[in-house]
Amino acid sequence: MDSFFKTPRGKILIFTDLDGTLLDDQTYDFTPALRALKLIRSRKIPLILVSSKTRAEIELYRKGLSLKDPFIAENGGAIYFPGAFPLPDEYSYETVDEYHEVLIGTPLAVLNDRIRELKEQFRFRCFSEMTIEEIAAETGLTHEQAGLAASREFDEPILLESGPDEEELLCKRAYELGLDCVHGGRFLHLFCGGDKGKAVDMILNVYRQQCSPLTSIGLGDSQNDVSMLWAVDKAVVMQTRDGGYIEGLDHPDLLKVRGRGPDAWNSAVLSILEDLLS
């Protein structure tokens, strides 16, 4: 049991978004962050991936990063704990492959009628309507990666075809239908009940029961990262694609990083850990 919770001073957890944060949002490469990743691994700091990506996509990166920690998929639709991870008794879960899946969001199958109703008023395309080739063309993913991205369970990315001017109106109508509507790096995302911040809080609660107190760090770049960043002690925001920063985050310990992607991530994490581990 101890191996899951043994971190330097027992106090540091890192939560990170993927695209545009740990990953380059064009190449999906994380190698410029290897120096910080090596330090994280050597000090046994849990690195918890928090993304709009599917479980299948995140598993691919967890393997590449040699991670064994919990992770959060599809904008907080579910948390996946390794099967050997010591969960408190109050956490209900389903066994999915080698994971304990803690559901937070509503399955997409339950939301389809509401999404179809939204489509009667706005012109947009859902991931579920696209071919693997179309997803690959829109995202720059390989054919294999696009197939993993298509296997969605809680969160429906959409491309608004009527232009960005209708984004606010679409989200307002989505809320009226009981859907959440947030902007990620490339797409609008429709879901219900999923919440990155709530998922982060749940994971923090698990770790606090084993090694309180903790210092939590969160890194993100998009509007759908705001709830995650509010949930942590230190919030780190990358620049958006247009060179600005996400709005609505007046965090008491906020670091705005110049740049985006793994280079900026590497610099920010090394600087923060230098302070915490010195």
Give 79's strand partners. 72, 102
| Domain assignments of the chain as residue spans, ordered by start | 2-105+196-277, 108-191
pLDDT at 153 over 80: yes
pLDDT digits (tens, 9 = 90+) for 89-98: 888 999 999 9
- Rg (C-alpha) for the chain, rounded Å, is 18
Fold for the domain defined by 108-191 = Threonyl-tRNA Synthetase; Chain A, domain 2 (3.30.980)
At 28, is the secondary structure helix, strand, or coil?
Answer: coil
Measured N-to-C along each axis, helices 261-277 and 34-42 cross at an angle, to the nearest 10 degrees, of: 40
pLDDT digits (tens, 9 = 90+) for 129-138: 999 999 999 8
pLDDT digits (tens, 9 = 90+) for 232-265: 999 999 999 889 999 888 899 999 999 999 999 9
Residue 6: pLDDT band (50, 70, 90) is very low
Amino acid at position 23, single letter: L
pLDDT at 7 over 70: no
Residues involved in catalysis: 17
Burial letters for 182-220: b for 16+ Cβ neighbours within 10 Å, e otherwise? Answer: bbbbbbbbbbbbbbbbbbbbbbbebbeeebeebbbbbbb
Give 95's strand partners. 100
Which residue in this structure is represented by tokens 């491309």?
159
Fold for the domain defined by 2-105+196-277 = Rossmann fold (3.40.50)
Q: Which residues contact 248 (CB under 8 A, 6 or more apart)?
A: 223, 226
Residue 4: pLDDT band (50, 70, 90) is low
Half-sphere exposure of 103 (CA within 13 A, CB side): 12
How much is the pTM? 0.92
